[in-house]
């Protein structure tokens, strides 16, 4: 007995440490691959999700998003519980709901928020090693915050995009970018309409150069204008990065 076809949206959290990123790859353990397997097992039918963000190897997520279509009679809200019974502990579904069948997570306008964490004290903390980037070199978070303000707004972010990425335009809109120190950790939070390949990690790497005093905060303006990857700082390592959340204005109030 099958019901009507429906599209279900999942909010997906994962510890990216042991995955080769989100995207399905033959012969490699990926979040998408494991999710497809568990979903297919639950539905007794080969089923594949469409993911919102293809996070890189080692990057974490609290709120990545994926959708799939099914005619199973399981209520959309129950998929989170049912899938969590099957998924490994380092992937958790934090919510599930029905969405319009036309809803596509990569083709719908959204606000994405990322966090980059830097542990900045004399010695590393083993418990934080997989979820933050460690540097003992003192970082000045006030200078970093000054520099961060330059990326807010609509800009060409070509300087903050890894070579080889395919995209029509390198213009993106950043709504907010904040740097705060919480005791020994420096936390960068950034929200925008979209991000180029490695964009948050290159912004984090550049802000760290500012924090060390190697680049003045106001140099950010020239780095943006250069529209050249070589103008910006290094790409910060993946373990500090977490995709925190997606907002889809189109779905709100529904």
- Which residues are part of the catalytic machinery? 56
232 Cα distance to chain centroid: 20
74 lies in the binding site for its own copies (CB under 8 A): no
Give residues 76-105 in contact with its own copies (rule: CB under 8 A).
80, 84, 89-95
Q: Which two tokens stand for residue 32?
A: 């998408």
Closest CA to 7 of 51, 69, 74: 69
Which residue, 57 or 219, is less far from its own copies as judged by CB?
57
CA distance 204 to 153: 17
Q: Which of 125, 176, 221, 228 binds its own copies (CB under 8 A)?
A: 125
Which residue, 70 or 80, is less far from its own copies as judged by CB?
80
189 lies in the binding site for its own copies (CB under 8 A): no
Which residue, 80 or 206, is less far from its own copies as judged by CB?
80
183 lies in the binding site for its own copies (CB under 8 A): no
Cβ burial of 120 (10 Å; 0-12, 13-18, 19+) is: buried
138 lies in the binding site for its own copies (CB under 8 A): no
CA distance 240 to 114: 10
127 lies in the binding site for its own copies (CB under 8 A): yes
Q: Which of 3, 100, 124, 249 binds its own copies (CB under 8 A)?
A: 124
Which residue, 64 or 159, is less far from its own copies as judged by CB?
64
Q: Check if the beta carbon of residue 75 is closer than 8 Å to that of residue 10.
A: no
Which residue, 189 or 229, is less far from its own copies as judged by CB?
189
CA distance 61 to 224: 27
Q: Check if the beta carbon of residue 58 is closer than 8 Å to that of residue 27.
A: no
Give residues 32-51 in contact with its own copies (rule: CB under 8 A).
none
Partners of 112 in the β-ladder:
192, 246
73 lies in the binding site for its own copies (CB under 8 A): no
Q: Which stretch binds its own copies (CB under 8 A): 43-51, 103-111, 119-127, 216-224?
A: 119-127
Cβ burial of 179 (10 Å; 0-12, 13-18, 19+) is: buried
CA distance 114 to 192: 9
Residues of the shown chain interacting with its own copies in the complex, contacts defined by CB under 8 A: 13-15, 60, 62, 80, 84, 89-95, 122-127, 129, 131, 242
């Amino acid at each position: 007995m099958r019901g009507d076809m429906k599209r279900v949206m999942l909010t997906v959290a994962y510890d990216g440490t042991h995955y080769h990123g989100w995207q399905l790859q033959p012969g490699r353990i990926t979040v998408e691959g494991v999710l497809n397997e568990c979903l297919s097992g639950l539905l007794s039918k080969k089923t594949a999700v469409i993911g919102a963000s293809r996070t890189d190897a080692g990057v974490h997520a609290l709120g990545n998003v994926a959708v799939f279509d099914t005619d199973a009679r399981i209520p959309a809200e129950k998929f989170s519980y049912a899938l969590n019974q099957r998924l490994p502990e380092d992937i958790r579904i934090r919510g599930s709901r029905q969405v319009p069948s036309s809803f596509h997570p990569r083709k719908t306008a959204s606000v994405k928020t990322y966090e980059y964490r830097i542990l900045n004290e004399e010695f590393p903390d083993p418990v934080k090693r997989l979820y933050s980037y460690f540097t003992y070199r003192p970082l000045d978070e006030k200078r970093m915050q000054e520099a961060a303000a330059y990326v807010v707004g609509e800009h060409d972010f070509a300087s903050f995009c890894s070579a080889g990425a395919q995209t029509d335009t390198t213009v993106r809109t950043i709504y907010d970018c904040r740097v705060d120190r919480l005791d020994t950790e420096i936390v960068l939070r950034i929200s925008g309409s979209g991000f180029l390949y490695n964009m948050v990690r290159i912004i984090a790497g550049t802000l760290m150069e500012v924090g060390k005093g190697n680049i003045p905060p106001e140099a950010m303006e020239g780095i943006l204008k250069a529209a050249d990857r070589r103008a910006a700082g290094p790409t910060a390592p993946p373990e500090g990065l977490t995709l925190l959340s997606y907002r889809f204005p189109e779905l709100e109030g529904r």
